[in-house]
Amino acid sequence: MTKKCLERPAVYTERVGDSHFLGSRPSVTYCLWGLLQYTDKKGISLAEVNALAGYAFSLNIFKDTVHIGGPFIYAGEERFQQALANLGYDFKVLNFLPVEPDTVTDVLDTAQRSIDRGVPIILWDIFHAEFGLVYGYDDNKRQLNGLDKLREEPLAYDLIGKGKTAEIGFISITTRNKTDRRTAIIRMLNQAIEHGYTAEPIKHADGELAKGLAAYDAWMEAFQGGRIVSFFNAYNIVVYAELRQFGVQFLRELLEEFQDHEMIEACIRKCVGHYEAVAAALKGLAELFPFPGGGDPKDPDNIINAIKFLEDAKRAEAKGLRELNQLRACIVSLQPGGVE
């Protein structure tokens, strides 16, 4: 085909003041949800996408400035592509690469093949430095149909990879896989637990990155050291506050799924309580440092209050991780052969 345009994706429809969109953080999982609406997974909840893809229980904090890149890091990791299989499909993932002619060709070929099959692709930095969806192409006009949280308009082939970051990346569905529901949940729990207990920081171009429970300590140290950039801090807070809310919602959805298993149901209820406490603490932090203004992270009173909220969140998260571990053991016991 020389051109094809799919029905507009069901994303980025409800604008919130600063041009962020309700339920759209992080943009990668929001776009994944939009992508799955074109498949037999249509109707999957945004909470489930965030949980199964590994985001709902994640926390990545850059130690010095609480850099805005923290929430984006996971999409570039190998484990992200592995987690995507929990959604019932295998995916082709191209991670934040420098722009080269062959890479641009790969983007175009992948987009056209996917759209011809009736499914858009997710593209990084279409019009700004987050993820959006490409759902049409026209070889005669040499342009794609794309949208992200800021704009919805044609993108010339010549402008692919020439956005804010000078990086290129995409996510596209390849084939349906045979991952069953309980295996997907077990793998998700494995990853959440491993992430939560990651002790050593990761070296990165933007600085040292702390993960899981250790990320709370790095965040508190950044407040105490007066190194926090206000906008970066506020963005991290609003993303992780939203993610923990998705985590709670997903766990509540699991209650109905396992209502015939008393021990599992009891574990899930405990998990819900712990992660509700995490979400409440991060919500309090978000009110102290509202996005996008960011408040004043160097004010002494704000620092004291921020550390209290983070201590509360870490304490509840630690309890939640212990209960997630117990939940994993219970679900594994239901699997034939004890699949882990």
Residues 152-165: tens digit of each pLDDT:
999 999 999 998 88
Average pLDDT score over residue span 228-244: 94
Residue 14 scores a pLDDT above 50: yes
Residue 19: band (very low, low, confident or very high) from pLDDT cuts 50, 70, 90: very low
Which stretch of 13-22, 55-64, 249-258 has the lowest confidence by average pLDDT?
13-22
pLDDT digits (tens, 9 = 90+) for 242-252: 999 999 999 99
Domain ranges of the chain: 1-44+89-176, 57-66+180-340
Sign of the Cα torsion 272, 277, 279, 280 reads: positive
Residue 15 scores a pLDDT above 60: no
Listed residue (122, 118, 110) closest to 38, CA to CA: 118
Instruction: Identify the pLDDT of residue 337.
Output: 56
Residue 18 scores a pLDDT above 60: no
Listed residue (321, 301, 326, 298) closest to 216, CA to CA: 321
Which stretch of 82-91, 290-299, 303-312, 317-326 has the lowest confidence by average pLDDT?
290-299
- Is pTM beyond 0.75 here? yes
**Helix pair 181-196, 300-332: axis angle to 10 deg:** 140
Instruction: Identify the pLDDT of residue 88.
Output: 96
Listed residue (143, 138, 140, 109) closest to 126, CA to CA: 143
- Which helix (H) or strand (E) covers residue 227, if one does? none
Residue 181 scores a pLDDT above 50: yes
Residue 124 scores a pLDDT above 90: yes
Average pLDDT across the chain, whole number:
92
Of the chain, the percentage scoring pLDDT greater than 90 comes to 78
Q: Where are the alpha helices (DSSP H) in the chain?
A: 27-36, 46-52, 78-84, 101-116, 181-196, 212-225, 230-257, 262-288, 300-332
Average pLDDT score over residue span 109-113: 97
Fold classification of 57-66+180-340 is: Four Helix Bundle (Hemerythrin (Met), subunit A) (1.20.120)
Listed residue (26, 45, 6, 79) closest to 235, CA to CA: 26
